[in-house]
Structure 1
Amino acid sequence: MLIQLELTSELDITQLRQYDDEYDNEISVLTDICTVLSKNKLNQFKIQAFSNEFWPVDIETDLVVFLEQLPVCIREINLGSDSSIDLYEQGISREILLKFNQGNYNCYGKSHDGIWVPSYAENISQTDLLKMLKTFLDHFLSALKNKHSNKYLVHWLSDNT
């Protein structure tokens, strides 16, 4: 299983729009960040799991959905609990199911639209899975300048520590 983020550009968070407490939250900021990052075609979000094919994920929509769930997923894996990441957006409609089993994770793919059929399940150690997801998060965060200047992003980051 491969879950990877390659970002060649940085984004200064202070250049994003002003946010309104009544209408905005962490997802608003993540959406704006991913929209800007998606404009650089050298930036790539990759998932290859349960087959030899890369999944048709993109930065503008699928990365937001992935990031939204990443803090909880990292926490659950760190605790040795079952977890999942649901890429529910139209066009992908797949879920990664992570079942803890004696220091390892049995990983399964699930299709929500029946179009994609996983070829096989995968097994990865808890340590390797955590490393992959934390590396993914670190790559995302390293592309953000002045990340602590936005209270919504700070709140989202607090869920990652």
Structure 2
Amino acid sequence: MRFDLRLDVPAAVPPEERSDVTYDTELDDVRSILRDLCGSLAELPDVRFIVTVGDPMPVSVRRDLVVVMEQLRDVLAGLREEGTATLDLYEQGIEAQLLFAVRDGQIRIERRDLLGRPVPPREMDLPREMIMDCLRTLARTFVDVARRRSPERSAHPWFTDWAQSLLTTASQ
């Protein structure tokens, strides 16, 4: 069984031509910025988001990456502090949940279908550090490419606070 959770980006990422969006403090939050960043990254043909739990999952940069990035800090913190975490993939009909549980230096990953479709269960035990490195790399890659793609959006205080929290959690 195979596990993969990564963002592939080319070495050269062109900056957005226009990213002068204003965010409303009453209607928006960092999720609005993450959504816009993922939308911008999705415009680049060489940017790929990959999720594999046994079999590859049909995920997209535009919709699914934002969902994962919203939850990644909590997943990292949950694994470190409580030994468990849940990652919900609820866009585009995927409707799946990844459950992570630390056990004896391993992390058990279980993929559940949230719609009750008859799919074979996907469970695997992998080395803890391998999974943590995968999650940390995703965090660092996303923040790095967001800063290169959209210097204006990534300079917004909501994003800088979010990114600092994510990267601090990822480095622990």
TM normalised by structure 2 equals 0.83
TM normalised by structure 1 equals 0.88
Report the count of equivalent residues: 159
Alignment-derived partner of residue 58 in structure 2:
56
Give runs of ≥4 in structure 1 deviating > 4 Å. Answer: none
Q: Which runs of 5+ in 2 are unaligned?
A: none
Q: Which has the higher helix share?
A: 2
Shift of 1:27: 0.3
Alignment-derived partner of residue 39 in structure 2:
35
Shift of 1:78: 2.4
Shift of 1:98: 0.5
Structure 2 residue identity aligned to 1:27: R
Shift of 1:47: 0.7
Alignment-derived partner of residue 157 in structure 2:
151
User: Which structure is richer in relative contact order (CA contacts within 8 A, separation 6 or more)?
Assistant: 1
The SS at the match of 2:65 is helix
- 2:63–2:92 contact (8 Å) kept in structure 1: no
Q: Does 1:26 align with 2:24?
A: no
Alignment-derived partner of residue 113 in structure 1:
115
Distance 1:10 1:35 in 2: 14
**Which of 110-119 and 57-66 deviates more?**
110-119
Q: Could you list the per-position Cα deviations for residues 80-122 of structure 1 after superposition, in whole angstroms to 9, with x for gaps in the alignment?
A: 5210100012321111101121222111010012336245311
- 1:81–1:99 contact (8 Å) kept in structure 2: yes
Distance 2:119 2:36 in 1: 32
Structure 2 residue identity aligned to 1:149: A
Q: Which runs of 5+ in 1 are unaligned?
A: none
Alignment-derived partner of residue 98 in structure 1:
100
Cα RMSD (Å) of the superposition?
Answer: 2.1
- 1:96–1:108 contact (8 Å) kept in structure 2: yes
